[in-house]
């Protein structure tokens, strides 16, 4: 078993300390496991487009970057492809996950490592572009860490982490939020939080050791039966979207408390559902087809805006 931890915090910081405690427990549960820890802050995406740079299933040219350093994406993607279990952790800053996680997701994962896109490429006879390891059944556990004592300051921590690996159909088996780690290194003083981090790692290893059919979510339950979070977006009347995974349902009053009800159709549109990825893939194709018919109108409307932006643009002097 190969267990990979990705840290979106600072080297030796609270997030890394909590992740390391989780890894220690995972290794104790599965002594033969190979453990690897990667710091996102040490990665470089270089100057090249992702297309042609990675063992990717989806060819795209949209994520150009402005760095002059080396490109570490093939190296880190190889670690992800080899992993059986992934532990992802990051600090929360101003209520959201640290920007490193989003930067890593947008330049390295997302549509570039997408199982539905991979299957589509194969069906189009372009299977040579697909790294077959993308279809390996993987599990993941998430750790969001903040210095506050209440959820009002960490609302978007776990939901953001949830978005990182769903295109690869990685199954989340546990997730946790750390509260009160307000000073550098102070998380080690929070015995209950460290114990929960160890439980997180243990649960990850134990679920990874099971067959894909036997794996299940063992963390705290939320209102959504898929992502197990409780972020709700009311879309009209009692209709709701899950803010974590996009499942559609309705809010009901049950025994004096608000509950959510989802039918199968509402669950199928979730990003965590295989059907949801298929639906989104069809949306992309339909949107592209519709827009291609009128793309000849773009220059006349775009050029004046480009001219204005060039006149008003301010860039730092170096």
pLDDT at 174 (0 to 100) = 98
Cβ neighbours around 65 below 10 Å, total: 18
Structure tokens belonging to residue 183: 């000073």
Cite the beta strand spans of 122-215 per DSSP E: 139-145, 171-178
pLDDT at 48 (0 to 100) = 53
What's the rounded Cα separation, in Å, for the pair 38 and 57?
Answer: 23
Longest dimension (CA), the chain: 64
Number of structural domains (the chain) is 1
Question: Domain limits at 90?
Answer: 2-219
Q: Region of 212 please: left (phi>0), alpha (psi -120 to 50) or beta.
A: alpha
Does residue 291 belong to any structural domain of this protein?
Answer: no
Q: Specify whether the CB–CB gap between 257 and 263 falls below 8 A.
A: no
pLDDT at 46 (0 to 100) = 66
Mean pLDDT split into 10-residue runs, the chain, 318 residues: 97 97 98 97 71 41 53 88 97 93 89 86 86 94 94 92 94 96 95 97 98 96 94 95 95 90 96 91 92 96 96 92
Q: What is the CATH number of the domain that holds 126?
A: 3.40.50.360
β-pair type (248-254, 2-7): unpaired
178: three-class secondary structure by DSSP: strand
pLDDT at 52 (0 to 100) = 38
pLDDT at 204 (0 to 100) = 98
On whether the pTM is more than 0.75, the answer is: yes
Structure tokens belonging to residue 253: 């009053």
pLDDT at 163 (0 to 100) = 95
Does residue 281 belong to any structural domain of this protein?
Answer: no
Tokens 């004592």 — which residue?
149
pLDDT at 222 (0 to 100) = 92
């Amino acid at each position: 078993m190969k267990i990979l931890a990705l840290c979106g915090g600072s080297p030796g910081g609270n997030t890394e300390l909590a992740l390391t405690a989780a890894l220690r427990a995972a290794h104790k549960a599965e002594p033969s496991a190979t453990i690897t820890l990667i710091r996102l802050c040490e990665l470089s995406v270089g100057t090249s487009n992702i297309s042609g740079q990675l063992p990717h299933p989806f060819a795209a040219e949209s994520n150009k970057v402005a760095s002059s350093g080396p490109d570490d994406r093939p190296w880190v993607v190889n670690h992800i492809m080899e992993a059986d279990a992934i532990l992802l952790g990051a600090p929360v800053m101003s209520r959201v996950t640290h920007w490193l996680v989003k930067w890593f997701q947008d330049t390295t994962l997302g549509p570039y490592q997408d199982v539905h896109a991979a299957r589509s490429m194969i069906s189009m006879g372009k299977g040579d572009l697909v790294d077959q390891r993308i279809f390996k059944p993987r599990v993941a556990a998430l750790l969001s860490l903040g210095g506050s004592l209440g959820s009002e300051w960490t609302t978007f921590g776990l939901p953001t982490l949830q978005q990182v690996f769903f295109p690869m159909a990685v199954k989340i088996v546990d997730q946790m939020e750390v509260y009160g780690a307000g000073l550098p290194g102070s998380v080690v003083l929070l015995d209950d939080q460290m114990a929960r981090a160890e439980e997180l790692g243990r649960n990850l290893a134990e679920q990874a050791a099971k067959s894909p059919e036997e794996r299940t979510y063992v963390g705290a339950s939320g209102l959504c039966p898929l992502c197990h979070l409780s972020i709700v977006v009311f879309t009209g009347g009692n209709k709701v979207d899950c803010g974590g995974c996009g499942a559609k349902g309705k809010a009901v009053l049950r025994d004096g408390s608000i509950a959510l009800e989802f039918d199968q159709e509402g669950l199928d549109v979730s990003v965590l559902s295989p059907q949801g990825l298929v639906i989104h893939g069809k949306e992309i194709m339909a949107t592209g087809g519709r827009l291609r018919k009128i793309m000849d109108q773009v220059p006349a409307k775009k050029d004046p805006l480009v001219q204005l932006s060039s006149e008003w643009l301010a860039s730092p002097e170096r």
